[in-house]
Amino acid sequence: MKHYLSFSLILLLWLCVAVSAAPKKDVCAACHIGVDAKQKAIVEGYQTDIHYLKGLTCAACHGGDLSKTDEEAMDPEKGFTGAPTHQEIPHMCGKCHSDANFMRHYNPALNIDQEEKYYTSVHGQRLKQGDNKVATCISCHGVHGILPVDNTNSPVYKLNIPKTCARCHSDAKYMAGYGIPTNQFEEYSQSVHGVALLEKQAKGAPACNDCHGNHGAAPPGVNDVAAVCITCHAFNGELFSQSPHKEAFQAKGLSQCAACHDHHKVMHPTDAFLGVNEGGVCVKCHAPGDAGYVAGARMKMILDSLLSGQTRAKTALGKAEALNMDVSEGESAVEEIRENSIEARTAIHAFTPEHLNEVALKGFTAEAKAESLAAAAVFEYKFRRTGFGVASLVITGLAFLLWRKIKAIERKQRGAS
């Protein structure tokens, strides 16, 4: 009898130790991994989750009693909430992520305003109104396998963001009834920014969130788009705000940048964009003969002559190079023209031909320099040939004279013998 008691005590003790020593994480996972395929996937996915790696268990979000090992752990009295509804999700995440003291233990530098911002967004507003189709935290960040933003596999990694947004916003069926277009991703992918980000992997290019905001995602107001553009395209923005277009656009309710350049489908503007001819945007507002029309035409002429100057300089230098002359200095001058044409295209945004002319002066000077260098190279080429001609003349002349002298000497020698 005594043995049974002590044996049971020892067994109980062992069980308690075993249970308390076992990692708390396994309590939920140990069961759920065998429930069905879906649950198994969740448990396995969670192994890579940043929250798991920081030591947060299932109960950290879902609540429950970790001292129990079976369904008793899922005790609502002990805080178990189960799978949250769509409506509950932002708060479930915000429970921790909006708590500064809590977050300080894990990542003091991380923002704590996501939930607050979310409810200012279109998604948040509509969620409050009962729309369960809109995005919540888990729609973008994933769930049970959330990765940090700088992890390349995260759906909210910079390069992955457009595709993540497009999951809903490009799905015409899903978006039916909202009355907004579903071609944004398509347009964006064709744009300069889209190509830069998606194809060239340039992290400096803007993704959806750079213009629309992250958690407070909303379409920027007509005037706000420009504010976004000029964070990178500062010079263009500065010039524009000093130009006659600023007030005119504001009065007409036109977006500063997007009115000409579009917002999603921002293409690389060709030089045809400028001016009053085929493809020119100026005629969208300006009638033939008005001040703007004339200014547009003039600016186009200036730009055109700058670019044709570049071509002329290149051709001239090419000719010199074909003659085997050195043209490296001329090539630097052509490079100056190229840089100046970039500056000129920016300078256009002042919409003042005089200003453009001033800026383009540098390019015109460089063109003149390149062409004079090419001319000098061709001159050098001719000089060498002329020089050779002269030297050759001297040498052959002298050779001839020498020949005559030899003959004269030999004649004398024959005569004397």
Partner 1 sequence: MAMTDKRSMIPDPPRRGFLEWLDDRYGVSKVREFMRHKSVPTHRGSVWYYFGGLSLFLFIVQILSGILLLLYYRVGAESSYESVRFITTKVPFGWLIRSIHSWGANLMVLAAIIHMFSVYFERAYRKPRELTWLTGMALLGLAMFFGFSGYLLPWNKLAFFATKVGTEIVGVIPGAGHFMLRLLRGSDDVTGATLSRFFGLHAAILPAVFTLILMIHLMFVQVQGMSEPLGHQEKRKPMPFFPNFLLRDLLLWLLALNLLALLAVFFPWELGDKADPFASAPAGIRPEWYFLAMFQMLKFIPAKVLAIDGELLGVAGIGLGLAFWALFPFWDRAASRGERRSWVTLLGIIIVIGFLVFTILGWVLA
Partner 2 sequence: MLMKHDDAERNSQNVTRTESGNPVSRRAFLDRALWVGGAALVAAVVYPITRYLVPPDEAEPDPATVNIGKADDFQPNTGTIFKMGRKPGILIRTKEGEFHAFIALCTHLECTVQYRPDMGLIWCACHNGRYDLNGINVAGPPPRPLTPLKVNVAEGSVFVSREEA
Could you tell me what percentage of the chain is helix, strand and coil, using 3-state DSSP and rounding each to the nearest 5? 65, 0, 35
CB of 267 to partner 2, least distance (A): 17
Q: Are 160 and 197 in contact (CB under 8 A)?
A: no
Q: Which of residues 387-406 bind partner 1 (CB under 8 A)?
A: 387-388, 391-392, 395-396, 398-399, 402-403, 405-406
Q: 220-239 mask for partner 2 (x: CB under 8 A)?
A: -----------xxxxx----
Residues 190-209 within binding reach of partner 2 (CB under 8 A): 204
- Nearer to partner 1 by C-beta: 100 or 406? 406
For partner 1, which is the closer residue by CB, 200 or 414? 414
With beta carbons less than 8 A apart as the criterion, state whether 218 and 120 touch: yes
Asked if 34 touches partner 2 (CB under 8 A), the answer is no
Residue from 198, 209, 169, 205 nearest 185 by CA? 169
Position 326 contacts partner 1 (CB under 8 A): yes
Element (H, E) at 332: helix 328-347
Considering only 34-42, 109-117, 217-225, 406-414, which stretch makes contact with partner 2 by CB under 8 A? 406-414
Residue 391 Cβ vs partner 2, minimum distance, rounded to whole Å: 5
Give me 173's structure tokens.
């069926």
For partner 2, the binding residue among 85, 153, 332, 386 (CB under 8 A) is 332
CB atoms within 10 A of CB 388: 10
DSSP state, residue 291: H
Residue pair 32/25 in contact by the 8 Å Cβ criterion: no
Query: In this chain, which stretch among 125-133, 185-193, 336-344, 350-358 interacts with partner 2, using CB under 8 A?
Result: 336-344
Q: Which residue has the tokens 């001033």?
A: 358
Q: Which does 332 bind (CB under 5 to 8 A by kind): partner 1, partner 2, none?
A: partner 2
Q: How many residues bind partner 2 (CB under 8 A)?
A: 27
User: Is residue 265 within 8 Å of residue 236, measured between CB atoms?
Assistant: no
159 is an interface residue for partner 2 by CB under 8 A: no
Would you say 325 and 380 are in contact if contact means Cβ atoms under 8 Å apart? yes
Contact criterion met (CB below 8 Å) for 366 and 342: no
- Calculate the dihedral angle through the C-alpha atoms of 25, 30, 32, 34, rounding to the nearest 10 degrees: 160
Is the CB of 108 or the CB of 204 nearer to partner 2? 204
Q: Which does 326 bind (CB under 5 to 8 A by kind): partner 1, partner 2, none?
A: partner 1
**CB nearer to partner 2: pick between 233 and 312:** 233
Closest CB to partner 1 among 270 and 324? 324
Based on CB atoms, which residue is closest to partner 2, 95 or 404?
404
**Of the residues 12, 110, 342, 361, which one makes contact with partner 2 according to CB under 8 A:** 342
10 binds, among partner 2, partner 1, none (CB under 5 to 8 A by kind): none
**CA 33 to CA 58: how far, in whole Å?**
13
- Per DSSP (E only), the strands in 99-147 are none
Tokens 């030999």 -> residue: 410
